Amino acid sequence: MSDKIKVKKYYEDSEEIEVFKIDLFPAIVIHGREEYNIRYFGLPVGYEFGVLVEDIIYVSKGTLDLPEEVLDEVKKIQESVHIKVFVTPTCPYCPYVARTAHMFALANRNIVADVIEAMEFPELADKYNVYAVPKVVINDRVSFEGVLSEDKFLEKVIEAL
């Protein structure tokens, strides 16, 4: 680990839980010099561990791996967007979708992107009819399963608005 990375542990009754709007545990919130809306609910294990490492790198460098035209459109979003990405540790396709959602949240503070480990939160998976992963739910209005390119993912976000 690096001394540039700090881990802070909070409990369910701490003030920060309300500030970051954490309602599931365990939870991981990643911030850099600025506060971002990228969160993990459950443990980022299996294929998802790589996404956690990449998120730390993106936050620390302040760079994003999105096509320029997609990045420009994501930055223009002025309404609140809440993206939920349901994943499992053994899904090889989930990291791509999780990474895309988190990059959207890094690009625009109006976007909250949660990666939710479906097996750790079966009641939530049932609520959103998660039968296959990755499953994405945007603003509780639009959902899709599987991998979409960044531009098609953005179309779903705009549809949810």
What is the CATH number for 134? 3.40.30.80
User: pLDDT value at position 70?
Assistant: 98
pLDDT at 2 over 80: no
H helices, E strands: number in the chain:
6, 6
Asked if the structure places residue 67 within a domain, the reply is yes
Assigned domain for 1 exists: no
- With a cut of 70, say whether residue 154 has pLDDT above it: yes
Domain count, the chain: 1
Q: pTM for the complete prediction? A: 0.94
**pLDDT value, residue 144:** 98
Q: Shortest CA distance to 30 belongs to which of 52, 12, 61, 11?
A: 52
Mean pLDDT for the chain overall: 93
pLDDT band at residue 145, thresholds of 50, 70 and 90? very high
Query: Does 52 fall in a domain?
Result: yes
Which pLDDT value is given to residue 20? 80
Residue 123 has pLDDT above 80, yes or no: yes
Residue 125 lies in a domain: yes
Residue 148 pLDDT greater than 70, yes or no: yes
The string of pLDDT tens digits covering residues 74-103 is: 999 999 999 999 999 999 999 999 999 999
Sheet holding 142-145, edge to edge: 27-30, 38-41, 111-117, 81-87, 135-138, 142-145
Mean pLDDT of 40-45: 93
pLDDT, residue 34, reads: 83
- Reported as a pLDDT band with limits 50, 70 and 90, residue 31 is confident
Tell me, yes or no, whether 130 lies in a domain: yes
Q: Is residue 9, in this structure, part of any structural domain at all?
A: no
Q: Is residue 97 included in any domain, yes or no?
A: yes
pLDDT at 10: 79
- Enclosing domain of residue 65: 15-160
